[in-house]
Every structure is written in C-alpha cells, then in structure tokens.
Amino acid sequence: MIDGQAARPLSVLVVSYRRADLLRRCLDSVHKHLSGCRVLVWDNLSEGSPAVRELQSEYPGVEWVFSDSNVGYAAAINGLAARTEDDMLLLNPDAELTGPLAKSRAALQQPRVAAVSPKVQDDAGGPDWDVARRKQTVLRSLVSHSGYGKRLRGKALSDYYPQQPGAVDGYLSGCCLLISRSAWNELGGFDQKFFLYGEESEWQRRAHSNGWRLILADEADVRHAAGGTMAGDPLAERRARDLLRAGQAEMLGMSNYGPGAIFTAGLNVLDRVQRSHRQDRSREKAAAKARAVPGKPSILLTSNELCQGGAERQRVLLANELSRRGYPVTLACLQHFGPLTPELDPSVRLVLTPWWQPLVDLPTNDAVLITGVTNTEAGFAAGWKALNRHGKWLAATHEPAEAGKPTYGDKLAKVISRSDGVIALSPRHWDAITRHQHLNQNHFIAPNGVPKQQDRGFTPKKPVRLGMLCRMVEHKNPHLLIEALDELKDLDWTLDLHGDGPDRVKLQAMAPENDRVRWHGASPGPDHAFQTFDVLCVPSRAEAFPLVIVEAMARGLPVVSSAVGSVPDLLDNGSAGVLVETVTAAAWATALRPIIEEPARLTPLAAAGARRAAELYTVDAMTDAYETAIAAVR
C-alpha cells in the first residue's frame, strides 16, 4: 500500500555499460529497497560486458538482455519497456537506492503525472533537488555548460530553480526516473535519434506539451556517482561529453541555423575561451594522439546524418575500418545522428556540428577530410580548408549521374574542383558524372564494400520469391516492378517490398493491387529483409552504386537490376546477374518471365555474384582504395 492506495506494479529498468562493480551495487540496493519489483537489465556491449555477464548467476531473479552491440540508451530502454506493462523506474547503473521511493511512487499514482524523480544525493555540490531543471533555452543551456548555472540560480539565464519545486516545467534528470505506463503508452517511447543523453528530457517535453505533469518528490532516496561509468578514461569521457552536447542540441532543435546550431556555436566559443574547457580539450587531444599510430594522419569524415542509406552505411564501415588500421578517426554529422549510430565503433569520435561550424579538434595537424558531395558537406569542407591550410580534402561522390545534363550545379562543381581529389564509385560512375562537366583533374576509384557474409547458396524453387529493399522514393520504381509482374499473372511468384520513405503511400497507391505483393515498411537491415525473398530486384531508373546489390551478392542471392549507374560494373556486364537495359514495365516483364518459368537459370549467376562480391566489394577492398587516395594527396 502507498498512502492508503494499492501500489501499482513497478518494473526497474537498468541499462548497463562497462562497469560491473557499479551495476552490482545498484542491483543490491534495488534488492534491499524494492524487493518484489521486477528487474530488467540491458547490457550494451563494451569491454566490460564479460564482467557484467558474470553477474547473471549472482542475480538469477533479474531478467537479462545482452546486446551484441551498443545500441544506445534510448533503444535499450525502448527494448526493455516492450517487455513489461508496469510503471517503470529508469535507474542508472551508477545510482544507488537508499530508500523505497514511497513518496515518488505515490506521486506517480496521481492523475496525469507522467514522470517523477526523488531528490538525488551526489558529489556535484548544491541542493539535492537540482535534479529538477527549468525549461531549456539556448542561453540557459550555454550558461549551464559554462559552469555558471548554479551561481545564477533563479535568474532568467539559469536553468536551476531558486528553491525546491514540486511541479517541474522543464525536465527531471534521468538517473532515477519513474515513468507512468499510461503516459508511455499515450506518448510512445524514447526518440532513438538520441543515442545517449537528451532522450528523457525530450520525452518529458512531449509529456508536458500534452497535458501531463512532472513532479519532484520530497525524498532523497537515491545516491548518484555522476559520470561513473565513464570515469577514468579521457576518451570515454570525451565521447560522453560529445553525446551530451549533441543530445542538448537535438533537444533544442537541430537544423542548419536553428537553436541547436546556435547552441553548438556557443559551445565552440566556450571551448576556446574558457580555461576549464581549454584544459579539457588539451587533455583529450593528448590522449587521442597517444593512441594514434605514428605516421597515420587524422581522418575527418562527414555525413549529413547516419540514416539507413548506402552512402551513410559506407561512411560508418569506412570509419570503423580506418580506426582499426590505426588512424585517429572522427565522424562529424552536420544535421543529425541516426539509426546507424550504434554501428559506429566506440574508437571513432562522433560529433554533431552544423556545416558552417567546421571547428573539430583533431589529434594531429596532418589531417585528411573525406566528405560526400552535398551542399552542406561542400560548405563544411570549404570552411575547414580555410582553417586548416595543410589539411587535404577528398570529395567522395555517391550521386547518380543526371541524364543529358550536369549532375552538380555550377557553384557546387566549382567547390568540388578545389578539393585535392574526387573519389568515384566505379569507372562507369566517373565517366557518367563528368560527361557534362569538369570536376577535378585528380580522381580515384573506390567501390563501396560490405563485411564478409556467409554465402547461403541459391536453391531454385517455386513460387519464385522476389523482393526489394530500398528507401521508398519514386525513382526506385517499386510500382513499375509491380506493373511488370501484373503482366505475369500466369506465373508462380511472390513479391516482398521492404523500406520506408517519403513516397511510400503514393507508390502503394500507384501500384496495381495484387494479393501476391506485400509491403513490409522499414527494415532493420539486409538479413531481416532477405529472409522473405530469394531474388533481389532493383528496378530503379537512376542509381550510383546500389549497396543493396552488394549485400545480396555477398549472401549468394541472385540479382535482377536496371542497367543504370555502376550496376553493369557490379554485375560484370551480366555475367553475375540479370541486367534490364530499358527501364520500362514491358522490359522488366520480358526479363523476369524466363527466370520465373525456370529459376535454375539464376543458379550460376548467384554463384558468380558471390565470388565477385568476396573479391571486389568487401570493407577491406574499399578501405584499401581509400588508403591509396589518402596516401596520394598527402
């Protein structure tokens, strides 16, 4: 019973990372003060995971999830929340309960209360109710990061309350946060564009704007070791700070010139003016330099965001492999992070900075910038080159060539021509993008690659299971493929379409209705999608280098594709897959009929594709090509 009411069931959710000793202390405190509550722990993969696994036998009553990667805090909490229907206590592994949270649990049972936190004992100094913060603004966030927030407590520029609040109009710190299941069900889970930090405050902002309340309970039943899971490792501390800053920028509203971008500009000023920030920068730069292999330049990669696209996935794979080879690597996102963030190795520094702020600390002056060819990335590169006179810039093109006209606008092409070299995806790709305009005298070829995969082999069978995996935009032509198959109603086939995008609803409406066609929506990756089909179809009217083809070839899936962009190079001019020369429904129907009638025709093509992918389109081969370009421009 709580205040005369039956206590609602409470599940304790903990996301662990690195420190098994802190997690043990946390779990012991839960057992002492919240015995009878269900406890779920998600361990994000780290060098500390083996020690965390050893705790499983000590705590058999805990429900454990051991992730095979570090998926971030938001995704981990969402994963745990899906396993329970109770109210939830989100408890940091470096937090220790000192009481039963009776007042907090009672407050959570009040009408329209979304989240409650107790007061928190920590070593940061100041009142134990500083876990509650006022509404965030750019100026308040900058004042807080400067360390003057507490001194200006109660002033308009500070996010610290002048006295202990009850109701909170900003947010509650997430180290010990109780969340109502009703509010969670209504509002949805954490936004997974936040990898670490910011997701709880963004969720609370949604709650507040939808009429829910945030409450600080008048009890200090938790002790918190701030930064405990990162303490003692300068680079881990830097990564945590980078992610904290990015989360704050996203929370404020990240766009090219939005509040989040103004916030990051202010942080750059603080980093270069305030003594404590300068000292942190020097210490972290020295730690990064000490880990670098002598003679290797610093590598700075850019991406607008880490969304589920071929170019973005290539950036992550390249960053990870260059880091493994001893280069100090930084990846700068110019707009947002994204769903590929968990795939980035922790050794790669990840920062969020708008294109007009090319101020990224690198451990060595000898540096190479590798960007895509978008307006934002070219603008970033131009600014970076102006600030780093000895730095080199490689512009890696991933855009399909425009038919009959220049691919890039005149201004963008002029900026590209000032780079130290352009990287194209294949000889055919380079020829196509330079057919109508000059880009650079110096160019290199670096095909995209994927990690080595198990060739699952192709077994001819009926029905022939066809499929697509792509971003659903009109030029990908799923409606054209369905139209082609509509002409083959007499044959035995199915079609599974995976992917989401801005045109999905329109494309579904454009496609002929057919009960053998299934639209699945977003897919977490190739293996998930490839479980539903055996033959990949790529009916696009324009492509540069469709990475999904390499993903399929590497796994032994046969490919049927429009003969656009680099596809003829990928499929060895038809020796490793089926090429459809004319991108029309009639041409696709003509190409598909014989292989649906006799799927054994695809067996030698699938085998040839698997051999070709293993030889030419691996991450090692891609990185070798980039290393050649890096060495050439230094």
Prediction pTM value: 0.86
Mean pLDDT of 269-297: 87
Q: What is the pLDDT of residue 7?
A: 78
Per-residue model confidence as pLDDT tens digits over 527-575:
999 999 999 999 999 999 999 999 999 999 999 999 999 999 999 999 9
Bigger pLDDT: 282 vs 167: 167
595 phi and psi, to 5 degrees? -80, -25
d(CA 594, CA 580): 13
d(CA 603, CA 616): 20
- Asked if 468 and 499 touch (Cβ cutoff 8 Å), the reply is yes
Q: What is the pLDDT of residue 227?
A: 52
Give residue 136's identity as a one-letter amino acid code.
Q
Q: Read off the tokens for 525.
A: 């990756």
Cα R_g (the chain), whole angstroms: 27
Residue 167, strand partner residues: 215
d(CA 184, CA 113): 11
Closest to 549 in 3D by CA, of 531, 565, 564, 571 = 571
Mean pLDDT of 117-127: 86
Is residue 309 predicted with pLDDT exceeding 80? no
Give the three-class secondary structure for 10. Answer: strand
d(CA 176, CA 2): 19
CA angle 217, 219, 225 (to 5 degrees): 105
Mean pLDDT of 429-450: 95
pLDDT-derived band at 311, boundaries 50, 70, 90: confident
Domains belonging to the chain, first-starting first, are 10-129+164-224 (3.90.550.10), 289-445 (3.40.50.2000), 464-616 (3.40.50.2000)
Q: What is the pLDDT of residue 360?
A: 94
Mean pLDDT of 249-271: 93
d(CA 80, CA 72): 13
- Asked if 316 and 334 touch (Cβ cutoff 8 Å), the reply is no
Per-residue model confidence as pLDDT tens digits over 580-622:
999 999 999 999 999 999 999 999 999 999 999 999 999 999 9
Closest to 135 in 3D by CA, of 45, 221, 214 = 214
Is residue 229 predicted with pLDDT exceeding 90? no
Using CA atoms, how far residue 269 sits from 36, 138, 276, 607, in Å, is 50, 14, 13, 56
Average pLDDT, the chain: 93
Q: What is the pLDDT of residue 112?
A: 97
Closest to 9 in 3D by CA, of 41, 42, 43, 39 = 39
What single string gives the DSSP state of each residue in 419-437?
SSEEEESSHHHHHHHTSSS
Is residue 411 predicted with pLDDT exceeding 80? yes
Q: What is the pLDDT of residue 338?
A: 86
Give the three-class secondary structure for 114. Answer: strand
Is residue 422 predicted with pLDDT exceeding 90? yes
Is residue 132 predicted with pLDDT exceeding 80? yes
Return the H-helix or E-strand segment holding 251. Answer: helix 234-252
Mean pLDDT of 179-208: 94
Residues 6+ away with beta carbon under 8 Å from 342: 69, 70, 71, 72, 75, 195
Per-residue model confidence as pLDDT tens digits over 60-89:
999 999 998 889 999 999 999 999 999 999
Is residue 131 predicted with pLDDT exceeding 60? yes
Per-residue model confidence as pLDDT tens digits over 330-386:
999 999 998 888 889 988 999 999 999 999 999 988 999 999 999 999 999 999 999
pLDDT-derived band at 226, boundaries 50, 70, 90: low
The percent of residues in the chain predicted with pLDDT above 90, rounded, is: 81
